[in-house]
C-alpha cells in the first residue's frame, strides 16, 4: 500500500492539543525514551502512577526468565489504589459507577460508597475464612456487585478467577478445580434482554458433579429474586452476610508479583489455561493505557461494554478506570434490548465521552440500523463522544468507517487496540491525539512495547512481509505463568524455536511497507475468534467426542460477516450417519445443545456436518486445510491423492 493510495484519518488540532500523548513527536519521544532506558521508562511511570506502601528498588528481574518479575520488592494494594486514594485526593463524592440495569434502571455509586461496599464484602470473605493467596471464583453477571466482588478480593489479597456467566456447569466446575478455589461468589440469576436466566442453579450443578473439594462455601448475590436452593452450611446470601460487616477494611499489602487474578482462556489444547497476572505490573499498564490510549481526563465518562468475565472487563472496567479516578458506565444488558439503539441511547443519556466496544457489536448494529432508522446512531445525540475504541478481533474497514462516521460524527479518533488475555492491556494501538489512522490497522505499538514480525526462526522480517507476531522484551503487565503449569507457559509463549527469548502472541501480522503499521492477520494456532470470544478448536472437539454418539470430530473456523469467524464441526458418528434432512436436523440440534452444555452457548457450532470418516492422510493425520476449504464452500483444487478416503469429501461438502 503506498502512502498516496491510503487515506489517513488525522486527529483534530483540538484533540492533539489536549491529549496525554500530543502529536507524533510526543509518541516517538516516548518510544525513544523506552529504547534508551527500558527499565527506567517503566520504573518512572510505576513510581508516578501507583501509590506504593513500600517502594520498589528492583525494576525488572530476568534471573529466572521467562518467569520475569517487575517491581518485585515493592508492596501495594490494588483496591487501595482504585478507591481509598481517590477519596484521599478529594474524589469521595465523585460518581465512580453509573450502573444501568437491563431494564433501564440507573444507579450511581460514588467512590466513597463503592469503598464501603468493597470493605463490607472483603470483611465477609475474611469472616468466611478466605485468606491472602486463596483463590475465589466469581460467577456473576454484570452488576455493581460483580465489580465489588473483584475489588474485595484484591483488597484482602485473594486471587480472583472470574468465570463468564455464559459458561456451563462443566466449564465452571473445571475452573474451580483447576484454580483450587476455596470460595465461590455467584448470583441467583442474571437479567439479559428482558429475561431472567439462572446462575445459581448452574453453579449447583457444577458442584454436584463432584471434585470441587477445596471449596468451603458459596456466597449468593440476590439479583433476579428467582427461586434457588440454598444448601445449609454451604451457601449464604450476600446481603445477609454483608449486613453486619464493618464498613472499613485495612487493605492487605502484597508484593508486586502477588497474583491479582487468574483468568481462563482458550489455547491449542482441549484444556483452557489459567492466565496468571501480577499486581504491580498489571496495575501500571491498566493505568498507563487508560491515560495514553484513552486519554482519560477527570470530566470524562468512560464506557467499556465488555463483560467482567473477559480480560477487557478486568482491565477496562474493574481496574483501569477506577485506578484513574474516572466515572464509568457499567451495563448489565445486551446491545439489542429493548432495541438496537440501546448503546446510542445510553451514550446520549449518560453523556459518554469515551466508548469502547467490539467489532461484532458494531457489525450487528450496522445491520439493525440499515433497516430501522429509529435505531440508527444518527437518531441520537452523540455529541458527548470524543474517543472511540475497538477490541477483541480485527475491525474490517467498512465497519471502521461506519463507526467513525455515524457514531463518532467523523470527529472522534478510533483506537483499534490489539491485545490479549495474556498481555493484560493494550499492546498495539493508536494514540488518539497523535497517530494518523488507517481503517483496519491497529497501527503502532504502545510506547515501550516492542513488537515485531518474524519468521519461523525468530529473525525479524522486513516491512511488507507477513509473519509471526512476537514481543521482543518482557513488559510489566505480561502473563506470569499458566496457573499450576509452568511448563505449558514456557512452551506456549516462549518456545524453543525462538531460543525462549521472544513472546509468541499466537497471531500472524504484517507491517505496512511504508508506515510500519501493524495489521493482524489472524491466529496462527488452533484458536478461533467468534464474536471476539476466544475458542480453542480442540476444546470444542473434546466436547463433541465426549458425547456417546460421537466417534470423531474436527472443528475449524470459517470467515463470517457478522461474527468474524464461525465454528464448523465435521463429525463422524459411532452409528449410521443421518442422511435425510429431518434426522440430520435433529442430530445437529442434539450435538449443538451438547456443546452448549459442555462449554457454553458461545461454543455452539454454526454448522455441523456428518461423514463416514474425516479426510486423513495415509498416516492418519486429519487434513485440516482441506476441512477449512470445505467449510468455506471452496472448490477443492488441492491434490487429494494422498488422501486415504477421497470419497468422504462429497459427504462433508455441506
Ligand atoms: O487474535 C487476536 C484477537 O484476539 C486475541 C486475544 O483474545 P483474548 O485473549 O480473548 O483477548 C481479547 C481482548 C483483548 C488476539 O490474539 N484480537 C484482539 N484484539 C484485536 C485482535 N485482533 C485484531 N485486532 C485487534 N484489535
**ipTM attached to this prediction:** 0.99
The number of helix segments (H) and strand segments (E) in the chain equals 21, 30
Q: What b/e readout covers 220-229, taking b as 16+ CB neighbours within 10 angstroms?
A: bbbbbebebe
Q: Which residue has the CA at smallest separation from atom 23 of ligand 1?
A: 394
Q: Which residue has the CA at smallest separation from atom 3 of ligand 1?
A: 393
Angle between helices 200-208 and 169-179 (to 10 degrees): 60
Q: What is the pLDDT of residue 323?
A: 98
Judge if the beta carbon of residue 264 lies within 6 A of ligand 1. Answer: no
Question: Residues with Cβ < 8 Å from 520, sequence gap 6 or more?
Answer: 394, 418, 428, 442, 469, 507, 508, 509
pTM: 0.95
**Pseudo-torsion of CA 172, 174, 180, 186, nearest 10°?**
10
Judge if the beta carbon of residue 392 lies within 6 A of ligand 1. Answer: yes
Pocket test for ligand 1, best of 419, 527, 602 (most atoms within 8 A of CB): 419
* Ligand 1 atom nearest residue 520's Cα: 23
Q: Which residue has the CA at smallest separation from atom 5 of ligand 1?
A: 420
Judge if the beta carbon of residue 426 lies within 6 A of ligand 1. Answer: no
Pocket test for ligand 1, best of 418, 423, 444 (most atoms within 8 A of CB): 418
* Ligand 1 atom nearest residue 505's Cα: 16
Tell me the C-alpha distance between 117 and 248, whole Å. Answer: 9
Distance from residue 78's CA to the centre of ligand 1 (Å): 25
Q: Over the Cα atoms of the chain, what is R_g?
A: 24
* Ligand 1 atom nearest residue 527's Cα: 1
Q: What is the pLDDT of residue 640?
A: 72
Residue 552 sits at φ, ψ, to 5 deg, of: -155, 150
Average of per-residue pLDDT values in the chain: 96
Judge if the beta carbon of residue 419 lies within 6 A of ligand 1. Answer: yes
Q: What is the pLDDT of residue 438?
A: 97
- DSSP element (H, E) containing 359: helix 359-371
Tell me the C-alpha distance between 133 and 131, whole Å. Answer: 6
Which regions of the chain are under pLDDT 70? 1-5
Q: What is the pLDDT of residue 443?
A: 98
Sheet containing strand 301-304, edge to edge, reads: 106-110, 95-100, 327-331, 301-304, 354-357, 387-391, 414-417
Judge if the beta carbon of residue 359 lies within 6 A of ligand 1. Answer: no
Q: Which of the 8 DSSP states describes residue 240? A: H
Q: Which CA distances in Å does 304 have to 20, 49, 264, 278, 329?
A: 20, 22, 20, 22, 7
Residue 522's Cβ-side half-sphere holds a number of Cα atoms within 13 Å equal to 11
- DSSP element (H, E) containing 44: helix 38-49
Q: Which CA distances in Å does 497 have to 72, 462, 490, 494, 525?
A: 29, 19, 12, 8, 15
Tell me the C-alpha distance between 13 and 88, whole Å. Answer: 35
Q: Which residue has the CA at smallest separation from atom 14 of ligand 1?
A: 420
Ramachandran assignment for 211, one of left (phi > 0), alpha (psi -120 to 50 degrees), beta (any other):
left
Q: What is the pLDDT of residues 269-314, one digit of tens each?
A: 888 999 999 999 999 999 999 999 999 999 999 999 999 999 999 9
| Angle subtended at Cα 105 by Cα 99 and Cα 111, rounded to the nearest 5 degrees | 30
Distance from residue 590's CA to the centre of ligand 1 (Å): 31
Q: Is the sign of the CA dihedral 647, 649, 652, 653 positive or negative?
A: negative
Judge if the beta carbon of residue 421 lies within 6 A of ligand 1. Answer: yes
Going by C-alpha positions, the residue among 519, 19, 78 that lies closest to residue 294 is 19
Q: Which of the 8 DSSP states describes residue 635? A: -
394 is in an annotated binding site: yes
H-only helix segments in 246-319: 280-292, 311-313
* Ligand 1 atom nearest residue 390's Cα: 26
Question: Residues with Cβ < 8 Å from 531, sequence gap 6 or more?
Answer: 358, 360, 393, 562, 563, 564, 602
Quick one: cell of 470?
512476537
Taking the chain, what is the end-to-end CA distance rounded to the nearest angstrom? 37
Relative to beta strand 235-237, strand 217-221 is: parallel
Q: What is the pLDDT of residue 4?
A: 55
| 389, β-bridge pairs | 356, 415
Q: Which residue has the CA at smallest separation from atom 7 of ligand 1?
A: 420
Amino acid at each position: 500500500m503506498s502512502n498516496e493510495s491510503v487515506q489517513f484519518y488525522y486527529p483534530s488540532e483540538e484533540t492533539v492539543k489536549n491529549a496525554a500523548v500530543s502529536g507524533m513527536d510526543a509518541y516517538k519521544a516516548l518510544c525513544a525514551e523506552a529504547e534508551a532506558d527500558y527499565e527506567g521508562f517503566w520504573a518512572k511511570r510505576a513510581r508516578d502512577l501507583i501509590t506504593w506502601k513500600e517502594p520498589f528498588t528492583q525494576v525488572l528481574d530476568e534471573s529466572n526468565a521467562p518467569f520475569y518479575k517487575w517491581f518485585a520488592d515493592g508492596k501495594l494494594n490494588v483496591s487501595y489504589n482504585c478507591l481509598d486514594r481517590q477519596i484521599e485526593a478529594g474524589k469521595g463524592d465523585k460518581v465512580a459507577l453509573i450502573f444501568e440495569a437491563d431494564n433501564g434502571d440507573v444507579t450511581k455509586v460514588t467512590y466513597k460508597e463503592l469503598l464501603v461496599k468493597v470493605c463490607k464484602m472483603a470483611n465477609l470473605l475474611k469472616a468466611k475464612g478466605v485468606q491472602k493467596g486463596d483463590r475465589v471464583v466469581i460467577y456473576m453477571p454484570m452488576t455493581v456487585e460483580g465489580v465489588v466482588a473483584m475489588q474485595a478480593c484484591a483488597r484482602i489479597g485473594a486471587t480472583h478467577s472470574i468465570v463468564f456467566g455464559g459458561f456451563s456447569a462443566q466449564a465452571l466446575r473445571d475452573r474451580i478445580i483447576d484454580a483450587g478455589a476455596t470460595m465461590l461468589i455467584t448470583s441467583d440469576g442474571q437479567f439479559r434482554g428482558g429475561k431472567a436466566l439462572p446462575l445459581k442453579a448452574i453453579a449447583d450443578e457444577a458442584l454436584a458433579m463432584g471434585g470441587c473439594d477445596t471449596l468451603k462455601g458459596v456466597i449468593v448475590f440476590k439479583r433476579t429474586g428467582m427461586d434457588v436452593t440454598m444448601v445449609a452450611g454451604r451457601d449464604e446470601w450476600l446481603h445477609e452476610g454483608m449486613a453486619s460487616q464493618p464498613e472499613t477494611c485495612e487493605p492487605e499489602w502484597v508484593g508486586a508479583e502477588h497474583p491479582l487474578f487468574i483468568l481462563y482462556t482458550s489455547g491449542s489444547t482441549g484444556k483452557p489455561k489459567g492466565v496468571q497476572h501480577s499486581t504491580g505490573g498489571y496495575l501500571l499498564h491498566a493505568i498507563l493505557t487508560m491515560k495514553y490510549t484513552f486519554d482519560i481526563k477527570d470530566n470524562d465518562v468512560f464506557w467499556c461494554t465488555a463483560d467482567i468475565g473477559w480480560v477487557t472487563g478486568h482491565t477496562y472496567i474493574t481496574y483501569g478506570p477506577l485506578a484513574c479516578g474516572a466515572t464509568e458506565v457499567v451495563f448489565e444488558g445486551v446491545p439489542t434490548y429493548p432495541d438496537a439503539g440501546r448503546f446510542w441511547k445510553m451514550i446520549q443519556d449518560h453523556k459518554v465521552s469515551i466508548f469502547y466496544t467490539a467489532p461484532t457489536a458494531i457489525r450487528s448494529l450496522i445491520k439493525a440500523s440499515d433497516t430501522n432508522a429509529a435505531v440508527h446512531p444518527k437518531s441520537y445525540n452523540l455529541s458527548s463522544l470524543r474517543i472511540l475504541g475497538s477490541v477483541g478481533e480485527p475491525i474490517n474497514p467498512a465497519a471502521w468507517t461506519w463507526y467513525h462516521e455515524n457514531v463518532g460524527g467523523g470527529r472522534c479518533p478510533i483506537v483499534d487496540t490489539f491485545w490479549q488475555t495474556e498481555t493484560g492491556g493494550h499492546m498495539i494501538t493508536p494514540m488518539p491525539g497523535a497517530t494518523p489512522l488507517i481503517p483496519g490497522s491497529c497501527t503502532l505499538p504502545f510506547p515501550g512495547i516492542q513488537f515485531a514480525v518474524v519468521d519461523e526462526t525468530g529473525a525479524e522480517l522486513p516491512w511488507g512481509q507477513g509473519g509471526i507476531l512476537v514481543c521482543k522484551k518482557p513488559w510489566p503487565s505480561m502473563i506470569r505463568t499458566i496457573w499450576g503449569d509452568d511448563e505449558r507457559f514456557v512452551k506456549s509463549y516462549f518456545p524453543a524455536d525462538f531460543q525462549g527469548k521472544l513472546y509468541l502472541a499466537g497471531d500472524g501480522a504484517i507491517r505496512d511497507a511504508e508506515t510500519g503499521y501493524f495489521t493482524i492477520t489472524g491466529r496462527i494456532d488452533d484458536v478461533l475468534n467468534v464474536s471476539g470470544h476466544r475458542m480453542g478448536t480442540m476444546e470444542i472437539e473434546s466436547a463433541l467426542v465426549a458425547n456417546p454418539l460421537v466417534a470423531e470430530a474436527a472443528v475449524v473456523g470459517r470467515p463470517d460477516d457478522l461474527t468474524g469467524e464461525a465454528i464448523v464441526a465435521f463429525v463422524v458418528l459411532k452409528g449410521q450417519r443421518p442422511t435425510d434432512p429431518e434426522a440430520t436436523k435433529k442430530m445437529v440440534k442434539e450435538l449443538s445443545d451438547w456443546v452448549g452444555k459442555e462449554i457454553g452457548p458461545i461454543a455452539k457450532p454454526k454448522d455441523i456436518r456428518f461423514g463416514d470418516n474425516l479426510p486423513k492422510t495415509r498416516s492418519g493425520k486429519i487434513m485440516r486445510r482441506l476441512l477449512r476449504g470445505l467449510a468455506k464452500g471452496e472448490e477443492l483444487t488441492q491434490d487429494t491423492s494422498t488422501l486415504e478416503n477421497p470419497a468422504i469429501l462429497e459427504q462433508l461438502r455441506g
